[in-house]
Amino acid sequence: MPNKKPLSVLQDGQMLLYLDSPNATALRIEVARFAELVKSPGNIEYYRISPISLWSAASMNVPLPQITQVLLEYSDPEPPPAFMDSLKETYGRYGKLKLEKVGDRLELYSADKRLMESIANNTKISGFIERKDETGTLATLVVKEEHRGHIKQEIMARFQYPVVDLAGYATGEVLEERITLLERSRTYGEHFSLWPFQHDAAEVFYKSGNVGGGSGIVVVPCGAGKTIIGLKVMEYLQCHTLILVNDSVALEQWKAQLPDKTSISPDMIGEYSGRRKDVKPVTIATYDVVTHKKKGDYPHFKIFDANQWGLIIYDEVHLLPAPIVRKTAEIQATRRLGLTATLVREDGLEGDIFTLVGPKKFDIPWKLLEEQGYIAQVAFGEIRVPLDSEQRLRYDAAPKRDCFHLAAGNPRKKDVLSEILEYHQGDSILVIGYFLDQLEEISKHFQIPLLSGETTTSERIKWYKRFKSGEADVLALSNVGNFAVDLPNANVMVEVSGTFGSRQEEAQRAGRIFRPKKGDNKGQFYAVVSDGTVEVDFSRNRQRFLAEQGYSYSLGRSFAEVRPLMGLPEKATSRPLEERITYQFQNHLIMNLSWRHRHGPIRIYQFQSHNIINLQTFMKDKKEHLRHPTYQRKNRRKRHQSQKILRLLTDLGRRMRHGQTNRLRYF
């Protein structure tokens, strides 16, 4: 039986919200303003009231009396008195230390002189300070401008006090051409508008342009349009903007979205990466290039630090505490927007993001967006595959450091993958893993393209385009698929190995299939692990974040066992082949056959009878073209290849004549 009141508050700061209680839906919005959602299994949501969540609430002007009123009015039993005292003390720390610009000086001040004395005497922090002043009741430290971010981070780490940064932000250079969001996509002509939660997220960050806004983090699920929120903030500010991304593929996606959905012209967009270095009013750069270190110096970072940016957007901001990325946060005089699907980090450095970028300004439960249709409904399954006797002996005898690799490379995983591929014919499938040797073996066995860090950016983008157009049904991805892969049609993911127990990686990978879909708006995620090995333990930890968001994994020891638990029918319904045998596909068939000659066979799915005549006519025309003397004379070097293609086309025709059209597996 649920409590008569919706909340229960525990001594350690945990809070339970019972969703089947009166007022629970409305209360959820209030609670999310000062507490962090930890997990949401079933009809109960678990929240944590932490120092970071309280200080984020204070930064958004949520008053302490409002927080205590919610807890006292809606909790049963009443919150423990000791907890309420601790909450008030923690909330009161916000605003004790303030950083302001006074003339040309950056000053840190507080009425608590004892606290300021402790800060000034700290060995590491003293290096960030020019001098100490005392004026009346205030103690003041003059901070070196270049250490604006460092001092906030060190005070948080060593004294557990947040620094309220009121020093303001450089307005940056104003854009020569006003940037506005369009009503229709330039590329596809489709109607385009912000979803309500996207507008709310941008507005909460902007905060009408006052100094209380302008720096912070927006957390929304993968596929929920983080990029669009960034574009709306750019429309608000109308200033030169630096966008920092994880890799070149993410760079290309931002580069495509900007002119597609805003009024900005392509010549105002610059790219700063390993292949090109253009700095323009709106510049997209990769973290690794900006922070490249050469002989103890950061030549590229100096270029960006010298520019008059009005806004910096950190895509995948959860990466910021990493040493290679942290350097970019030193540009503190500029408005900073962090975008991510999850702030979860296995090293526990989420607090660093608070100090380097700002407090969390917006967060929304994944399940809430799923209920409203903004992201796909995804079913999760875990298939535990036993090792064969030989593999088990090798695993048991192996040193601990090799066990994970041996478990991940279980050959029996290919049998499960084969069943999944067979069942999901006609779907758009991503196979993702951590170990490259395992993925190479899968790629060779199933004859599917493999995209890894060794694949050039242009090649990756080419295959992503083929996947989105339907030319390629299945792609194998290494860790390059963890971030910034825009494949909205992907509706099935098979994870064959992962980076140990990383919760953040599991959420990012699942995010590839959370993008809203046309039709039933559903997706399936399969984790294939080796039973009785360390993979099972790692898998449990990997699933924690998604479990906390209300998702559960159906567990079984075979695909046949897991399938019904995930709510899937006995036989999948394939997509209509009118979508697949298109003029565009026909035009690319010879190209694909040529690719097959160089790299191995490709797969053709589901030719229905009413499409066969059109395809046979097309094949006949192409064979006549290949046999024509003019083609033979002009393409002598390709003669051998053309003969191969002719044989492939002839074999395809033979299969059709014999009725082998339900599934032409390889050719």
pLDDT of 108 above 70:
yes
What is the pLDDT at residue 235? 94
Q: What is the DSSP string of 157-184?
A: HHH---EEE-S-----PBPSS---B-SB
Q: What is the DSSP letter of 576?
A: P
d(CA 268, CA 60): 34
What is the pLDDT at residue 655? 54
Tokens read off for 289: 């290039």
pLDDT of 616 above 60:
no
Tokens read off for 224: 């929920």
Q: Is 633 exposed, middle or buried (0-12, 13-18, 19+ CB in 10 A)?
A: exposed
What is the pLDDT at residue 262? 94
Task: Check residues 646 and 523 and name the one with the higher pLDDT.
Answer: 523
Torsion of CA 96, 100, 106, 107, to 10 degrees: -40
Q: Residues 272, 285: contact at Cβ < 8 Å? A: yes
Task: Check residues 593 and 438 and name the one with the higher pLDDT.
Answer: 438
What is the pLDDT at residue 241? 94
In the structure, what pLDDT confidence band is assigned to residue 658 with cuts at 50, 70 and 90? low
Tokens read off for 292: 């490249």
pLDDT of 282 above 90:
yes
What is the pLDDT at residue 646? 57
What is the pLDDT at residue 629? 58
d(CA 214, CA 219): 16
Task: Check residues 105 and 637 and name the one with the higher pLDDT.
Answer: 105
What is the pLDDT at residue 267? 92
Highest mean pLDDT among 31-45, 254-268, 359-373, 535-549: 254-268
Taking each helix axis from N to C end, the angle separating 81-92 and 51-59, rounded to the nearest 10 degrees, works out to 50
Q: Residues 436, 499: contact at Cβ < 8 Å? A: no
Token look-up 């590329």 returns 187
Tokens read off for 371: 């209920």
Tokens read off for 468: 């989105």
Tokens read off for 573: 């319904």
Phi then psi for residue 360, to 5 deg, are -70, 120
Task: Check residues 291 and 443 and name the one with the higher pLDDT.
Answer: 443
Q: Residues 152, 355: contact at Cβ < 8 Å? A: yes
Q: Residues 355, 329: contact at Cβ < 8 Å? A: no
How many helices (H) and strands (E) in the chain?
A: 28, 25
d(CA 96, CA 112): 7
Strands 129-135 and 492-495: unpaired
Q: Residues 9, 15: contact at Cβ < 8 Å? A: yes
pLDDT of 535 above 60:
yes
d(CA 473, CA 585): 13
User: Residue 624: which H helix or E strand, with range?
Assistant: helix 609-627
Percent of the chain with pLDDT over 90: 35
Task: Check residues 561 and 400 and name the one with the higher pLDDT.
Answer: 561
In the structure, what pLDDT confidence band is assigned to residue 650 with cuts at 50, 70 and 90? low
Helical H segments across 32-80, by residue range: 51-59, 64-74
In the structure, what pLDDT confidence band is assigned to residue 544 with cuts at 50, 70 and 90? confident
Q: In Å, what is the CA distance from 319 to each residue of 44, 146, 379?
A: 30, 22, 27
What is the pLDDT at residue 254? 93
Q: For 159-163, 171-175, 638-642, which range has the lowest pLDDT when averaged over its residues?
A: 638-642
Give the mean model confidence (pLDDT) for residues 418-428: 92
d(CA 362, CA 218): 5
Q: For 139-153, 265-279, 428-442, 462-476, which range has the lowest pLDDT when averaged over its residues?
A: 139-153
d(CA 22, CA 5): 7
List the one residue out of 361, 362, 364 whose CA is nearest residue 372.
Answer: 364
d(CA 533, CA 228): 42
d(CA 306, CA 340): 27
Give me the chain's average pLDDT, please.
Answer: 81
Tokens read off for 43: 């009809």
What is the pLDDT at residue 193? 86
Q: Residues 241, 168: contact at Cβ < 8 Å? A: no
What is the pLDDT at residue 260? 92
In the structure, what pLDDT confidence band is assigned to residue 469 with cuts at 50, 70 and 90? confident
